[in-house]
Amino acid sequence: MNGETVIDVRGLTKRFGDKTVVDHFDLKVPRGSIYGFLGPNGSGKTTTIRMVCGLLKPDEGEGTCLGYDVLHESTAIKANVGYMTQRFSLYEDLSIRENLEFFARLYNLDNLRARVDDAIASLGLEGRSKQLAGSLSGGWKQRLALAACMIHEPELLLLDEPTAGVDPKARRDFWDTIRRYASEGVTTLVSTHYMDEAVQCDRIAYIAYGKKLLDAPTAEIPDRVGIHAIKIEGGDLEAIASRLSGAMGVDFLARFGASIHVCGKDESALAAAMAPIEGMPGVRITPVKAGLEEAFIYLMTQASDNFEAGEAA
């Protein structure tokens, strides 16, 4: 099964009016992988996911999802994909069980009762299956929504910012579930804003202005971006920060608890920028390897708000 491609699309383009939301997007997702979509708000992540699962018709481009043509076989794609929307999209006035049964019926599943029982059991909600979905907390809603879009055992899971507004513990549990599905061979395409979620992905595509700027295995991303970092500890960090901010060779500063990471593309210019603070009492300056977070902060500073750019275009 390894090496098989689940999503293979080329040149996907979507325009709303005269605004190009997704611009010639290529994507190859291998089976069993967890593929992350990162990018600022309005960069086209949701639109891309919707085109892949047949909810939007691309204006241009071609390709396949699970072997079905994304332009003409959207019904077949819908039957084999689990799609979890950004906003909670189950029926708040139906109970947990009724929601799961509703979706199970839409997929024409056999052994309806057993499947729904299993789903409720694996959620750990046996005693609460009659509770209305609308009365669940944010974290439980997300888990229920995930269970609903997994009820037909899809091979591909599309998650659009699945954990927005969910507390860290619930987010961790959510990701444990995703990992378990991945180990069973389920492919996952997930869009997110959170760095702790990004590191969970096997591979990441970075999107801005509807274009893919970067597509690499997660571990290689800091090197691909080519960002360098210097860690500064001790002393008056606020004063140091305002002094270094905007200095030659410094692209941005990132505060990490009791230290500041000063980052820049040009390694020697960055080192030269340290001159004013060198020798300050109690201040330690150490070059460090830039991580994923610094890489993405750098990418985001390059394209901070796509709405502005979009409207100007």
Partner 1 sequence: MISFSRIGAVFIKEVVQMRRDRPTFAIMIMVPIMQLTLFGFAINTDPRHLPTAVELRDDGPMTRSLLAGLRQSTYVEIVDIVHSDEEGEQLLRSGKVSFLIVVPESFEADLVRGERPEILVAADASDPVAASGVVGAIGEIARRAFEPELERLPKRLSSGAPPYSVVIHRQYNPAGVTAFNIVPGLLGVILTMTMTMITSIALTRERERGTYEALLSTPVRPIEVMVGKTTPYILVGAIQTSIILLAALYVFNIPFAGDPLALLLAISIFILTNLMLGYLISTVAKTQMQAMQMTFFVFLPSILLSGFMFPFRAMPGWAQAIGEAIPNTHFLRIVREIMLKGAGVSDIAGDLGPLLLILLVLALLALMRFQRTLD
Q: Which residues bind partner 1 (CB under 8 A)?
A: 50, 53-57, 74-76, 78-79, 81, 83, 85, 87-92, 103, 106-107, 148-149
Q: Identify whether the C-beta of residue 144 lies closer than 8 Å to the C-beta of residue 99.
A: yes
| Residue 109 beta carbon to partner 1: minimum distance, rounded to whole angstroms | 11
Nearer to partner 1, 105 or 179 (CB): 105
CA-nearest of 103, 33, 27, 37 to 70 is 27
| Residue 143 beta carbon to partner 1: minimum distance, rounded to whole angstroms | 15
Question: Which runs of consecutive H residues, i.e. helices, occur in 81-234?
Answer: 96-106, 112-123, 138-149, 168-183, 195-198, 221-225
Residue 103 burial (CB count, 10 A): 20
* Token pair in block for residue 64: 């396949």
Nearer to partner 1, 107 or 194 (CB): 107
Nearer to partner 1, 166 or 263 (CB): 166
* Token pair in block for residue 256: 């990490």
| Residue 50 beta carbon to partner 1: minimum distance, rounded to whole angstroms | 6
| Residue 254 beta carbon to partner 1: minimum distance, rounded to whole angstroms | 35
Q: What are residue 234's phi and psi, to 5 degrees?
A: 80, 170
Q: Identify whether the C-beta of residue 209 lies closer than 8 Å to the C-beta of residue 43.
A: yes
Q: What is the dihedral of CA 153, 157, 159, 162, to 10 degrees?
A: 40
Nearer to partner 1, 56 or 273 (CB): 56
Nearer to partner 1, 29 or 229 (CB): 29
| Residue 238 beta carbon to partner 1: minimum distance, rounded to whole angstroms | 37
